[in-house]
C-alpha cells in the first residue's frame, strides 16, 4: 500500500487549467461585487499552479482560502479521467464549498451576461 501523499499530485491538464482559470475569474467578479475588505492575489508555491496567472485575480481572504482549497482538490483528485465535477462520484468539495461554487457560478454568470461579457462565458461553456 503506497500512501505517499505526493504520489497523488499530478500535473494539471489543459482542461483543468482552463477550469481553474474560469473559477478564478468568476470568483474575482463575485468577490469584487459582494465582498468588502482588502483584495490580494493568491500566492502558492505549488509548481502546478504557476500556470494560472494568479496575480491577475485579487480576492478577499475568505475567497483566497476557498480558491486554494478548490485548487488543492483539483491537484489531488483521485480520478484519472475526470468526469465533469458536477457528475463526479467522489464529490471532493466540502458541502459548504460546493454551495459556494454554485453561488459564485450563478451570480457571476448573470453578472457577466448583464455586462455583455459573453466572451468570458463562451470560454466557460465551450
By the criterion CB under 5 A, which residues form the site for Zn ion? 31, 35, 59-60, 63
Shortest reach from residue 26's CB to Zn ion, in Å: 12
What length does the chain have? 126
| Distance of alpha carbon 94 from alpha carbon 100, whole angstroms | 10
**Comparing C-alpha atoms, which of 37, 39, 75, 69 is closest to residue 57?**
39
Q: How far is the CB of 62 from Zn ion (least distance, A)?
A: 5
Cβ distance to Zn ion smaller for residue 30 or 85? 30
Cβ 21 vs Cβ 52: under 8 Å = yes
As measured in angstroms, the least distance from the Cβ of 17 to Zn ion is 22
Closer of 61 and 115 to Zn ion (Cβ): 61
Query: Rounded to whole angstroms, how far apart are CA atoms 68 and 27?
Result: 12
Q: Report the alpha-carbon distance of residue 55 to residue 58 in Å, rounded.
A: 7
> 40 forms bridges with which residues in the sheet?
59
Please, which residue, 49 or 60, has the CB nearer to Zn ion? Answer: 60
Q: How far is the CB of 86 from Zn ion (least distance, A)?
A: 23
Closest to Zn ion by CB, 12 or 63: 63
Amino acid at each position: 500500500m503506497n500512501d505517499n501523499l505526493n504520489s497523488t499530485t499530478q500535473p494539471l491538464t489543459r482542461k483543468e487549467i482552463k477550469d481553474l482559470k474560469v473559477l478564478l475569474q468568476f470568483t474575482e467578479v463575485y468577490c469584487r461585487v459582494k465582498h468588502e475588505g482588502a483584495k490580494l492575489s493568491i500566492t502558492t508555491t505549488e509548481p502546478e499552479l504557476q500556470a494560472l496567472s494568479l496575480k491577475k485575480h485579487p480576492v478577499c481572504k475568505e475567497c483566497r482560502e476557498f480558491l486554494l482549497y478548490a485548487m488543492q482538490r483539483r491537484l489531488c483528485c483521485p480520478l484519472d479521467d475526470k468526469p465533469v465535477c458536477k457528475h463526479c462520484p467522489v464529490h471532493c468539495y466540502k458541502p459548504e464549498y460546493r454551495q459556494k461554487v454554485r453561488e459564485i457560478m450563478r451570480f457571476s454568470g448573470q453578472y457577466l451576461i448583464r455586462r455583455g461579457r459573453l466572451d468570458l462565458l463562451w470560454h466557460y461553456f465551450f
